[in-house]
Structure 1
Amino acid sequence: MNVRKIVGSEKFDAYLISMFCFHARVDDVESQRERVENENIEDWGAFTDNGILAARILNNKFDFIIDGTPVKSGGIGGVSTLPEYRNQGAVRDIFRKFLPEAYRSGEVISALYPFNQAFYRKQGYEVVNYQSNYELKPALLAGYKFDGTVKRWNPGEAVEEYVQIYNEFVESYNLSVLRDAKSMMEQMKVDKLYKERKFSYIFSLDGKNIAYIIFSDIQHDPAAILRVEESAWVSRDGFHAILAFLGRFEADYGNIQLPLPYGIDLLRIISTPGAYDIQKTCRYDYMLRVINAKKLLETIRKPSDCDFVMKVKDDIIPENNCMLRVAADSVSIEGGSGIPDITVSVCALAQMAVGCINLDEAILRPDVLINAKEDMLRKVFVEKKIFVVERF
């Protein structure tokens, strides 16, 4: 396959491939041509020798937060191949050309929602546990009380108060993305409120906004389900306000579905006699890849006495295949053929750097080998909070 960026009218051809592969039903696809062809999204395609577009991927641009610092990142979406060209390596070929280009363009990490974890692991991506989902009955939250102000957002109203809470909340979570009013509106917007039944509420105490929640009403027999789409808080009072609010719906819903970011375990902190009845599931449908190992190691938080040598292995991006000396305020390429303190694949490094596994878990991987300075490595590679809500 011939791989290159898609341009001009080819973007609409790529759009049709995705519409076919994702089972989309659109009344008038031709009406989307102008919008699609003018979209400023990096689009890659695999073409047959006859010039037919067989497969495509989109690389959406983001600035993901890593230990408080936004870094240039990509969010892979739209991965699709026409059935007549499947099992010929089209998507693989795109990644093998795209990933080194992502390095050259300055990206530090790349993320995606996988259709097949094993396939993407071959491209250097690794699973990240980014969220836990809790299902519980509203009555279990009856013990929480909130005496502040609760206000519902109505379509057409400003969203800046939500933006402020969100950005204050996510700055301490890895893989989160700061928002402006436009991107916040994308999360909250609703065309037909009482048909879509998607509602947003903000909570304030003593004149200060402390939390918000966005939830949907899901039809279900024998009782409807309240599904929380997103929530954020800036204090303990804010988190408790959300729980207290959900506890008010005992007469309306049979169950509540509450997602919480990695690092916040509801079962460890909830105060209710019925905690055993809460069901918890973890989300692993998100994968991460290191695009620039040196820049990622420069970005992560390190102790003041940090000093170790890491050997990184990457089969696709040659610049990542190197030995790096990691100090508190610098990361440099280490020459020579000495023995590193730790050897990792880019798959393992992705998990370790963002903090979705600790070192005890990392050393159980076959692609992690510690030779020295284990105590130092334990101070560097610790578990961290992760918050992922952007879809691409």
Structure 2
Amino acid sequence: MEIRQLRMDEFEERMALSQFAFQLRFDESNMEQRRKTYRPEHDWGAFDENGKLLSAAIIIPFEAWVQGRKLAMGGIAGVATWPDARRQGCVSKLLSHALETMKKDGHSISMLHPFSFPFYRKFGWEMTVERKKYTIPTRLLPARLYVPGLVKRVAKPDFEALNRVYSAYASRYSGTLARNDDWWENKILTKNGTWAVYENESGQTEGYVFYDVADSKLTVHDMANTTEKARVALWTYIANHDSMIEEATLIAPIDDPLPFLLSDPRIKQEILPYFMSRIVDAEAFVRQYAWAPGTDGESVALRIADAQAPWNDGLFRLDWSSNGEGKLARTTEQEESANGTISCDIQALTAMLLGNRRPAFLREYGRIVGSDTAVALLEKRVPPRTTHLMDFF
């Protein structure tokens, strides 16, 4: 079996596999649009000895917000295998190759939307992003309130203004994409729907909502704000659709406060597991992560189990500076930290640092093992940060 990048002349073969695996049908115009945006250098395939494509996976170079910083992230997508090639280790080999490729390319983390959580957990990914889905009857929508400024519909929004709002909003969370111009132009602004922006008294954009209305239902696709005034103004705008809709639906962060802010909070709320993440390169990630400040010279020993990425597997010493810089370096049993050892697998470490699962919680449920002192240090040094993701790939 050969693992290699696809070529442009293999586009049709790749599209045939994708359509079959994901039960899609691309018409001629759709195929042409996909051809224009196809990046064969991002697409990796497993081929048999005759050069036949058996399986494929895409590695998309992204940046994601983590603890207020942008980190290079490899997005795994489009994983597909022909049925006669399944259970032959194709995807396993592709994912192992993907980890090596992402590490080489400087992606210290990876994210994906799983068809099966148990399947990708075997390869070191862990659930990190859950979201809330609201279904709000018209009579329970937030009250319409006066807010200085203006909400206006825009036929062609200024994506630079949108991105300023989005970036400020997204940086509050971990796991959100750092959207670039290409993502806005080809993945966001090409969708059908209505855009409305909130401008404050000075004419500055502080919030936006992208939505559509069909069959008496308003569906919010994308919404962000940088101020409380913008949030109230946008909800007032949504409530002004009350004569034409019976309900509104939207996806929100898991810690969204809307129900508390409603006069009647008896709305439908669903918790939806969404994306998985993985630490690809633990040493690089620890350097990039924004640890909480503390006392200079604090450290713990960290024993990581990672069967898929041997560079992460083993015993390390995790040191912190007073200003929140971290360093992870291999160590020996004789050089373990006086504060004790934390033992965990790569999934638990990912859940702690990318999934907002607290160290004490993970120890309580047997996902990490460590002394009280070591766990207390992690509790102090790992800042709480809700995860969220507004996009799909």
TM over 0.5: yes
Q: Are 1:8 and 1:37, in contact at CA under 8 Å, matched by a contact in 2?
A: no
The aligned counterpart of 1:112 is 112
Structure 1 unaligned segments of length 5 or more: list them.
none
1:326 paired to 2:322: no
CA positional deviation for 1:187:
4.9
Inter-partner Cα distance in structure 2 for 1:143 and 1:36: 46
Q: 1:245 to 1:216 in 2, by over 3 A?
A: same
Inter-partner Cα distance in structure 1 for 2:110 and 2:80: 18
Inter-partner Cα distance in structure 1 for 2:89 and 2:65: 33
The aligned counterpart of 1:376 is 377
Q: Are 2:21 and 2:82, in contact at CA under 8 Å, matched by a contact in 1?
A: yes
Of stretches 292-301 and 279-288 in structure 1, the one that deviates more from structure 2 is: 292-301
1:250 paired to 2:213: no
Q: 1:35 to 1:303 in 2, by over 3 A?
A: same
Q: 1:37 to 1:68 in 2, by over 3 A?
A: closer
Q: 1:182 to 1:158 in 2, by over 3 A?
A: farther
One-letter amino acid matched to 2:198 = F
Q: 1:122 to 1:188 in 2, by over 3 A?
A: closer
Give the secondary-structure state (helix, strand or coil) at the position aligned to 1:128: strand
One-letter amino acid matched to 2:217 = I
| Identical positions, percent | 21
CA positional deviation for 1:38:
5.9
Q: 1:214 to 1:37 in 2, by over 3 A?
A: closer
The aligned counterpart of 1:212 is 208
CA positional deviation for 1:201:
0.5
Inter-partner Cα distance in structure 1 for 2:355 and 2:14: 36
Inter-partner Cα distance in structure 1 for 2:214 and 2:83: 34
Inter-partner Cα distance in structure 2 for 1:37 and 1:251: 41
One-letter amino acid matched to 1:206 = E
The aligned counterpart of 1:14 is 14
Q: Are 1:128 and 1:356, in contact at CA under 8 Å, matched by a contact in 2?
A: yes
CA positional deviation for 1:373:
2.4
Q: Are 2:303 and 2:343, in contact at CA under 8 Å, matched by a contact in 1?
A: yes
The aligned counterpart of 1:202 is 197
The aligned counterpart of 1:96 is 96
CA positional deviation for 1:185:
3.5
Residue from 253, 273, 282 that aligns with 2:271: 282
Of stretches 119-128 and 44-53 in structure 1, the one that deviates more from structure 2 is: 44-53
Q: 1:160 to 1:129 in 2, by over 3 A?
A: closer
The aligned counterpart of 1:387 is 388
1:28 paired to 2:20: no
Q: Are 2:320 and 2:326, in contact at CA under 8 Å, matched by a contact in 1?
A: yes
Q: 1:106 to 1:188 in 2, by over 3 A?
A: closer
Q: Are 2:169 and 2:225, in contact at CA under 8 Å, matched by a contact in 1?
A: yes
Q: 1:33 to 1:383 in 2, by over 3 A?
A: closer
Q: 1:37 to 1:242 in 2, by over 3 A?
A: closer
Give the secondary-structure state (helix, strand or coil) at the position aligned to 2:385: coil
Q: 1:250 to 1:38 in 2, by over 3 A?
A: closer
The aligned counterpart of 1:229 is 221
One-letter amino acid matched to 1:217 = V
Q: 1:32 to 1:279 in 2, by over 3 A?
A: same
The aligned counterpart of 1:178 is 178
Q: Are 2:304 and 2:313, in contact at CA under 8 Å, matched by a contact in 1?
A: yes
Compute the TM-score of the two structures, normalised by the length of structure 1.
0.89
Inter-partner Cα distance in structure 2 for 1:158 and 1:111: 29
Q: Are 1:109 and 1:289, in contact at CA under 8 Å, matched by a contact in 2?
A: yes
One-letter amino acid matched to 2:292 = K
Give the secondary-structure state (helix, strand or coil) at the position aligned to 1:300: coil
The aligned counterpart of 1:354 is 354
Q: Are 1:355 and 1:383, in contact at CA under 8 Å, matched by a contact in 2?
A: no
Residue from 255, 262, 268 that aligns with 1:271: 262
One-letter amino acid matched to 1:202 = V
Compute the TM-score of the two structures, normalised by the length of structure 2.
0.88
Cα RMSD for the two superposed structures: 2.4
Q: 1:12 to 1:112 in 2, by over 3 A?
A: same
Structure 2 unaligned segments of length 5 or more: list them.
none
One-letter amino acid matched to 2:320 = A
Inter-partner Cα distance in structure 1 for 2:50 and 2:30: 25
Of stretches 244-253 and 79-88 in structure 1, the one that deviates more from structure 2 is: 244-253
Inter-partner Cα distance in structure 2 for 1:291 and 1:188: 28
Inter-partner Cα distance in structure 2 for 1:37 and 1:129: 28
Q: Are 1:225 and 1:256, in contact at CA under 8 Å, matched by a contact in 2?
A: yes
Give the secondary-structure state (helix, strand or coil) at the position aligned to 1:17: helix
Of stretches 354-363 and 31-40 in structure 1, the one that deviates more from structure 2 is: 31-40
Q: 1:133 to 1:34 in 2, by over 3 A?
A: closer
One-letter amino acid matched to 2:362 = A
Inter-partner Cα distance in structure 2 for 1:149 and 1:33: 37
1:337 paired to 2:328: no
| C-alpha distance after superposition, 1:180-229 (max 9, x if no partner) | 444333454357xxxx5x1110012212322111112233xxxx211111
CA positional deviation for 1:12:
3.5
